[in-house]
Amino acid sequence: MTLDELSRRIGDAWNYQRQRNWREAASAFQQLAKEAERLEHTENALHHLVDIYYGLGLSERGLGNKAAALEAFNKAAALASESFEMVKRPDGSNNLNDEEDDRFMMLGTMIKQRIAEMS
């Protein structure tokens, strides 16, 4: 699967999420997670994986599946941390005050909030 195809399918899954169609969203995010885990952990792939697992966590929470939601949020948190470390590396895309740094710091905070809400 190309990253463009992955992006399109993530958008479709988020559309289910916005419609509060938790079952379809969870199913779409679960399928994406299975397929995307095979991708090499490049910056672009990690961005998508964070989105997938965060969306999966929200969908599972919407379905009332606390354990599955926490598992997905914890995976998203680990991937966001890995992504943040990757953009900070000298060979990464870090420009010190780059929006990617901000994005992963913000996502990390949001994910931790979801985990705290469910604990």
20-66 pLDDT tens trace: 999 999 999 999 999 887 877 777 778 889 999 999 999 999 999 99
- How many other CB atoms sit within 10 Å of the CB of residue 12? 14
Residue spans of beta strands (DSSP E) within the chain: none
- Gyration radius from the chain CA atoms: 14
Q: What angle do CA 106, 50, 108 make, to 5 degrees?
A: 25
Nearest-angstrom CA–CA distance, 90 and 39: 22
Q: Which residue ranges form the domains of the chain, and what is each CATH number?
A: 3-118 (1.25.40)
pTM: 0.84
CA distance 58 to 107: 13
The Cα 55–Cα 78 span in angstroms is 15
Question: Per residue in 53-107, pLDDT tens?
Answer: 999 999 999 999 999 999 999 999 999 888 777 766 655 554 545 555 677 778 8
Phi, psi of 37 (to 5 degrees): -60, -20
